[in-house]
A and B are shown apart, each in its own frame.
Chain A
Amino acid sequence: MSWLDGLSWFLLLLGLVFFIAGSLGLLRFPDQFSRLHAVTKADTLGLGLVVLGLSIQSSWRETLLMLLIWLLVMCSGAVSCQLLARFSRDAADAEPLISHQEPGQTANSTSPASAPVTKRAE
């Protein structure tokens, strides 16, 4: 086995580790917003490492094809994550209107609508 094969296998295994981390995060993270972090970031890098590992053993055409697929998955992953987060926020905001509330009961303080405005980095 040449050192290039070794590097390829190392990248494939590292990619697999990030895929497992993404799946574990999906199970272990406490709320839907945190779970979105797990599936977008870990899986995107995991796929990238798998593509990199496979491209070492492939022709230039297959490499280009895999890179295109990775780019598309990365774009669609980030956009769908944003859409899911927006939907969850809208659902969380609408919840107090749907659920039964006792007189004088306040809405959930952890709602995204009550997010503080932070000062940006100078």
Chain B
Amino acid sequence: MMFKSGLLLLKVCGLISLSALCWAVLTANEGWVFFVVLLALLLLWQGYYPLALPKVRWRYFPALLFTFAGQLWRGAFDVARRAFFARQFAHTGFATYACRLTAPAQQQLLATLVSLLPGTCTVAILPKNSAKPSTGEVVLMLHILDTTANWQAEVAAIEWQLARFMASPLPREATL
């Protein structure tokens, strides 16, 4: 009980510090009265409707960040090459990717990250089994710039990193 209360206090203090830092940066260290009032209102709101923060494992964050940054660079470079050299778009098309993450927030985050990967852009998140949408399994409908490329491996790699960071184990076959 004591440990739980301490952990909660630590989380609240961390969030207040982060909010104060953002406020200081965005307002050039001014208007602290408004910050205190706003913070009190936010804490009151949290007391009545607590927002559950997802469990994350920060030790895997650098790996996720490096993977994402590398793929963002490659994605932008690919687009720039196609734009400058007017490359043909003979193999563009749509495809679906069976998402292995189960939590809706994680699926949404993956869909957002995928839009910044090389050659892929999320169009929709659809239930895997339209007859039973309550199972939580989804497929990502993607627009692919080059359907002949191995885009699945890149999406699977970022999905695996995300699952590791969000402490959400993937099914057994998900070993890259």
Q: Do A and B come from one complex?
A: yes
Select A117's contact among B96, B100, B119, B153, beta carbons within 8 Å.
Answer: B96
Whether a CB of chain B sits under 8 angstroms from the CB of A44 is: yes
With known contacts A21-B84, A79-B112, A118–B95 Cβ distance under 8 A: yes
Select B121's contact among A30, A42, A44, A81, beta carbons within 8 Å.
Answer: A81
Bits for A83-117, please: 1 = Cβ < 8 Å to B, else 0.
00110110000000000000000000010101111
**Residue of A at shortest CB range from B118?**
A41
Whether a CB of chain B sits under 8 angstroms from the CB of A7 is: no
With known contacts A44-B116, A82-B112, A33–B82 Cβ distance under 8 A: no
List chain A residues, Cβ under 8 A from B80. 17-18, 21-22, 25, 42
Whether a CB of chain A sits under 8 angstroms from the CB of B107 is: no
With known contacts A45-B76, A65-B25, A118–B83 Cβ distance under 8 A: no
With known contacts A36-B143, A121-B152, A115–B76 Cβ distance under 8 A: no
Size of the chain A interface, CB-CB below 8 angstroms: 47
Give Cα distance in the complex from A28 to B89, angstroms: 11
Q: B30 → chain A, closest Cβ, in Å?
A: 12
Give Cα distance in the complex from A82 to B125, angstroms: 10
List chain B residues, Cβ under 8 A from A34. 89, 92, 143, 145
Bits for B53-92, please: 1 = Cβ < 8 Å to A, else 0.
0000000000000000000110110111011101001001
Whether a CB of chain B sits under 8 angstroms from the CB of A4 is: no
Select A85's contact among B79, B118, B123, B173, beta carbons within 8 Å.
Answer: B123
Select A61's contact among B25, B95, B145, B153, beta carbons within 8 Å.
Answer: B25
List chain A residues, Cβ under 8 A from B89. 29-30, 34
Select B173's contact among A24, A65, A82, A122, beta carbons within 8 Å.
Answer: A122
Whether a CB of chain A sits under 8 angstroms from the CB of B166 is: no
With known contacts A82-B111, A120-B97, A38–B156 Cβ distance under 8 A: no
List chain B residues, Cβ under 8 A from A85. 115, 121-124, 143
Select B94's contact among A64, A68, A112, beta carbons within 8 Å.
Answer: A112
List chain B residues, Cβ under 8 A from A120. 97-98, 100, 152, 155-156
